[in-house]
């Protein structure tokens, strides 16, 4: 994921910054507890495509 692109992307729901999870190819919004997929190097920033984070995933983000 391009660092410059990541710097300008924000959650489409709450406008919070996103965290890039390279291993899962997702952009994570901690505020809304959702993850947006990245497919073929393109972030899919649609609410319908996002998945809810598990409690374990949210706890891991706090560390």
The answer to whether residue 63 scores a pLDDT higher than 80 is: no
Please state, for a pLDDT cut of 90, what percent of the chain lies above it.
78
For the chain, what is the domain count? 1
Angle at 26 between CA 51 and CA 21, to 5 degrees: 125
Mean pLDDT, to the nearest integer, of 5-20?
93
pTM equals: 0.89
| Domain extent for 40 | 3-62
Question: 8 in helix, strand or coil?
Answer: helix
The pLDDT, as a whole number, for residue 1 is 72
Question: How confident is the model over 17-39, as pLDDT tens digits?
Answer: 999 999 999 999 999 999 999 99
Instruction: Give me the pLDDT at residue 3, please.
Output: 82
Count Cα neighbours of 20 within 13 Å in the Cβ-side half-sphere. Answer: 14
CA distance 11 to 34: 9
Q: What is the CATH number of the domain that holds 24?
A: 2.20.25.10
What's the rounded mean pLDDT across residues 45-56?
95
């Amino acid at each position: 994921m391009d660092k410059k692109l990541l710097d300008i992307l924000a959650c489409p729901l709450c406008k919070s910054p996103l965290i890039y999870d390279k291993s899962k190819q997702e952009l994570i919004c901690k505020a809304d507890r959702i993850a947006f997929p990245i497919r073929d190097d393109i972030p899919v920033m649609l609410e319908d495509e996002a998945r809810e984070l598990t409690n374990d995933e949210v706890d891991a983000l706090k560390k």
